[in-house]
Structure 1
Amino acid sequence: MRRQLELPRLDDAIAECERLLNSGYTQSGNWTLAQICRHLRLTIESNLEGYPVWMTTLGYPLRPLLRWLMLPKLLSGNSPSGIRTAGMFVPPDDLDDAVEVERLKQSVARFMESTLPLHPHPGFGAMSHEEFNRFHAAHAAHHLSFLQPQTKE
């Protein structure tokens, strides 16, 4: 079961990852915290460094439709579940939570410090740095909503 989770900015996503790392969590989706962090890091790094040509070429014809239909849903926290991602963004099973949270923190810091133009998303196109910050935070909220923090009793 998913929980409601709103993360307006990437800093909020990092805080949530650290909270889950410290409290422990119950997994209700397919991925662990480490796998989610790896997936998020790979998408942020593609935004910084560029997506594969095949991905931008395939996404181009659908971009206006995806931007109009799907982007508002993602940003509002109503992202659909079960949509398969490209193989390059699927994390392996044998990852360490603490290591991947730290790597995601480093990637987010790099994103936040970057003044270079960001590469357009294959499905949603070009956005400002601030729009991409909100996009990546909403993407993180979607995935992290499948992890339930453990409460100490």
Structure 2
Amino acid sequence: MQRRTVLKGAAVGGVVVLGAGFWALPTSVAPAALNLQGAEQVLSGLVGRELVSLKGWTPAEVFNHCAQSIDYSMDGYPELKPAWFRHSVGPLAFSVFSARGAMRHNLHEAIPGATPLAEPASTAAALARLQGAFARFAGYQGELHPHFAYGALNHEEYAQAHVLHLYNHLSLIRSADQSA
């Protein structure tokens, strides 16, 4: 009985925090449409440019991280949050991000159980890896695996999650000539 009360309290607390968080999300215009084509357009615009990170991960690490997330949606995440989280707080968070058209999350936190972000090491190769992951996802017809936090998502929801995730990470990446 006590465990159920704690879980209910955590879920209600999560709703309050997420509701407040909804209004704290950025309201700026996304760099492109919130779909796979928009993401590809943005990534194509980065090809051949010298990129820097304002803080945290390097651009190559960011691209590898985003590619991992896309690949894991098709291949399975190495670790999942507890079932109660993936059926309550996680989907609620995704619905807030989806409704707001923006995501805000810890931009330096690796996917649980994910491999290191070191390969490929060059920005150009990591960007190509990410573009390949988006292309693979766009053509993917198989069953998608549950997101480690959001739980079960269909192809359209996953596409939106991947694009919002990318755009959130790109908020810390600039062209070298714009970083000053």
Same fold (TM over 0.5): yes
Give 2:89's match in structure 1, choosing from 57, 62, 65.
65
Partner of 2:138: 112
Calculate the aligned-residue CA RMSD, in Å: 2.5
Give 1:128's match in structure 2, choosing from 154, 164, 169.
154
CA distance in 1 between partners of 2:37 and 2:50 (Å): 20
Unaligned runs of 5+ in 1: none
Instruction: Give the 5 Å matches for 1:1-153.
Output: 4=28, 6=30, 7=32, 8-52=34-78, 55-56=79-80, 58-63=81-86, 64-68=88-92, 70-75=93-98, 76-82=101-107, 84-85=109-110, 86-88=112-114, 90-92=116-118, 95-149=121-175, 150=177
Does the CA-based 8 Å contact 1:25-1:147 persist in structure 2?
A: yes
How many residue pairs match? The answer is 145
CA distance in 2 between partners of 1:89 and 1:59 (Å): 20
- Greater Rg by CA: 2
Bigger relative contact order (CA 8 A; separation at least 6): 1
Does the CA-based 8 Å contact 1:39-1:89 persist in structure 2?
A: no
Q: Percent identity?
A: 23
- Encode CA deviations 1:28-66: one digit per residue, 9 max, x unaligned: 1212221111111111111101123xx23x331212112
TM-score by length of 1: 0.80
Unaligned runs of 5+ in 2: 1-25
Q: Quickly say closer, same or farther: Cα 1:82–1:137, change in 2 above 3 A.
A: closer
Aligned partner of 1:14: which letter? E
Q: Quickly say closer, same or farther: Cα 1:73–1:25, change in 2 above 3 A.
A: farther
TM-score by length of 2: 0.69
Aligned partner of 1:67: which letter? P
CA distance in 1 between partners of 2:45 and 2:104 (Å): 23
Does the CA-based 8 Å contact 2:120-2:126 persist in structure 1?
A: no
